[in-house]
Amino acid sequence: MRETPRSQGTAGDSRPRPPQLRPGRALAHTTGASGSGTPHRSDGRPPQTPRGARQTGQAGRFGTTPPVPRWPAFPRPVWPAVLCAVLFSLITWQVAAGGPLRSLDERVELRIAGHGPRPLTEALADLGSVAVALPVLAAALACALWRDRRAARRDALVAVLTMAAVPALVVPLKALIDRQGPLTDAGGYYPSGHTATAMVAYGTAALLLAPYLRLRRSMPVALVLTLATGIGLVLRGYHWPLDVIGSWCLCGMLLLISSSGMRRSSSRTPTG
C-alpha cells in the first residue's frame, strides 16, 4: 500500500516561502480597496497620521480643528466692562453738555420726587451711606479671612483696593461736572456717591463670600441692595436718575475688573 505524499508545507520544511494571500479578505494596504472609502484603509477608519486625521474647521472659522488659528481671546469680564465704560461716557457727555437725555432725566425726576413712604425711601437711600455699607464689607472681609486666611488674602486686597477706588474716581468727577441737585442749588451731584458706595461695597462682599455661599446666592442680594439704594435716592429727591445710572455703569466696570482679580481664588469649591 502506497503512502500519500506529504504536503510541502509541513512543519519539518524549513525553507522560506513568500507570504500567501488569504482569499476572502480585503487587502489592508491596497490602494483603492473596495468598501474602504480611503486609499489607505480597508475598514473605513482614517489612517493613524496627524495629517490624515484632520478635519475641516467649522463654518465661519479659519483653518482646521485642531488647532484653529483665531483672534486672541480676552478674559470674559473685558467686554462687559467696555460696555459699561461706553455707557458711562455717553451719560457723562449728555449730563455735562446738557443734551436731550439730561432734559428727559430732569423731567422724569421732577415728576417722581417725593413719591413713596418717606421712612421707607429714606431707609433705602441710607443703604448707600458709609455707615451702613462699609460695615457690611468689613464683615465679609473678616468672614473670608477667617474661613481661609491664606487663599482669601488676595481677594481681600482686591476688595479693599476696589473700595478705595470709589472716592478716587467719584470725587473728581463730581467737582468736574458740578451738576445741581434736584431739590437744591448745591452742585456736585453727578455721579451719585451713595450709589457707588452701595454697589461696590455689596458687590465686593458678594464676591468675597461667593466661594462659601455660592455666587448665585450672594450676588442677587447685592444686586437687590444696590437697586434699592438707587430707587430710594431718586424717590427721595436726593439724586437725578442719571446720577444713579452713571454710578451703576462706573462701578459695574470696577466690579468686573475686580472679579477677574478674584477669579482664581473664587473658583474654589464652595462648601454651602
Task: Determine the pLDDT at residue 5.
Answer: 52
Please, is 42 exposed, middle or buried when counting C-beta atoms within 10 Å of its C-beta (0-12, 13-18, 19+)? middle
Integer Cα distance of 215 and 163 in angstroms: 20
Does pTM top 0.75 for this prediction? no
Task: Determine the pLDDT at residue 32.
Answer: 46
Residue spans of the domains in the chain: they are: 81-266
Task: Please write the tens of the pLDDT for every residue from 151-194.
Answer: 778 888 999 999 999 999 999 999 999 999 998 889 999 999 99
The type of residue at 213 is L
Task: Determine the pLDDT at residue 272.
Answer: 41
Task: Determine the pLDDT at residue 36.
Answer: 47
Cell numbers given for 2 = 502506497
Per-residue buried b or exposed e for 45-66, using 16+ beta carbons within 10 Å of the residue's own CB: eeeeeeeeeeeeeeeeeeeeee
- H/E stretch holding 125: helix 118-126
Task: Determine the pLDDT at residue 249.
Answer: 96
Residue 45, CA atoms < 13 Å, CB-side half-sphere: 6
Q: Is there a cis peptide before residue 18, judged by omega within 30 degrees of 0?
A: no
Place of cell 451719560: 91
Task: Determine the pLDDT at residue 23.
Answer: 54
Question: Which residues in the chain show pLDDT less than 50?
Answer: 1, 7-12, 26-38, 52, 68-74, 264-272
Residue 162, CA atoms < 13 Å, CB-side half-sphere: 34
DSSP 166-223: HHHHHHHHHHHH-PPPTTSS----SS-HHHHHHHHHHHHHHHHHHHHH-HHHHHHHHH
- H/E stretch holding 64: strand 64-65
Task: Determine the pLDDT at residue 73.
Answer: 43
